[in-house]
Amino acid sequence: MNEPTQRPALSHVEETASGAESRMVDVGAKSETARSALARARVVFPPGVLAGILREGGPKGAVTEVARAAGILAAKRTGELIPMCHPLGLDHVEIRFDAPAEAGDEGCADALEVRCRAACTGRTGVEMEAMVGASVAALTVYDMTKGLDKGIRIEAVELLEKRGGKSGTWRADEH
């Protein structure tokens, strides 16, 4: 029988006499280190739709370029969107789009993978910035292409890797 594993306490929850209260973690005593994170989101299209977008663009224009700009902007503003995130001065944000070589094959749903890498030198990690960047870029792809088919969906927003800080490097099992 497996022993139950004890999870660490949540850093953004403080137990008080009146119950649990949310709080922003004080990172003032942490040393600044190089930090980076990679996240992804998948935009899944009905068969044949993605191939046309990659070949001809979408009904609203250059899909990936508008989505790239939106993802970068969103990553830079994560501290304004997620209440307990610290505002960070990002050193770098990169949005990349990957489509399978077989995009457009008859009977096969097509997926566009959106990857966002964020980096900074700071006292706290950039995981949320990478995830927000990937998410907003994926949402922008949806907005730019929804006129072609309402069956487009966004799925699998996830952290793939983080580096830096006290906990070092972490990678998802598969990416």
Tokens of 22: 């949310």
Specify whether 173 is catalytic: no
At which residue do the structure tokens 């099992």 appear? 173
Question: In whole angstroms, what is the distance from residue 67 CA to residue 48 CA?
Answer: 20
Tokens of 127: 């995981």
Give 149's contacts (C-beta < 8 A, 6+ positions apart): 45, 46, 49
Catalytic residue among 91, 98, 143, 149: 143
Tokens of 45: 């299209």
Rg of the chain over all Cα atoms, to the nearest angstrom: 19
Strands (E), 17-69: 19-22, 33-45
Active site residues: 143
